[in-house]
């Protein structure tokens, strides 16, 4: 059994319209929501979904591989946010920072 060839994603119109809907929701959250849960946490989840569906609409690759790439990207962004906060607040969470 050989590897399956890449084919255009059959759900491209669905993915594009879902990405557009998520973008509108993100803009509405940015403009009108001022709280400590929806904007920082739910908004981040929606951004990851927005990135996934936008790339799925544009890139005809396997959705599982794309999902893993977007998830890895989200983890890296959150890790750098955490490191930035720890450096600004004076905490040294990484042993290599003390060198």
| Predicted structure pTM score | 0.73
Residue 69: which pLDDT band, with cuts at 50, 70 and 90?
A: very high
Would you say residue 88 has pLDDT above 60? no
Report the pLDDT averaged over residues 33-52: 90
Q: How far apart are CA 64 and CA 66, in angstroms?
A: 5
Residue 68: which pLDDT band, with cuts at 50, 70 and 90?
A: very high
Residue 94: which pLDDT band, with cuts at 50, 70 and 90?
A: low
- Contact of 50 with 26, CB cutoff 8 Å: yes
């Amino acid at each position: 059994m050989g590897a399956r060839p890449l084919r255009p994603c059959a759900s491209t119109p669905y993915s594009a319209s879902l990405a557009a809907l998520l973008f509108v929701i993100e803009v509405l959250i940015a403009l009108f929501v001022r709280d400590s849960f929806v904007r920082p946490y739910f908004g981040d989840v929606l951004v990851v979904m927005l990135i996934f569906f936008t790339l799925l609409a544009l890139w005809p690759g396997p959705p599982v591989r794309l999902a893993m790439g977007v998830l890895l990207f989200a983890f890296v962004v959150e890790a750098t946010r955490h490191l930035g906060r720890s450096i600004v607040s004076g905490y040294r969470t990484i042993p290599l920072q003390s060198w």
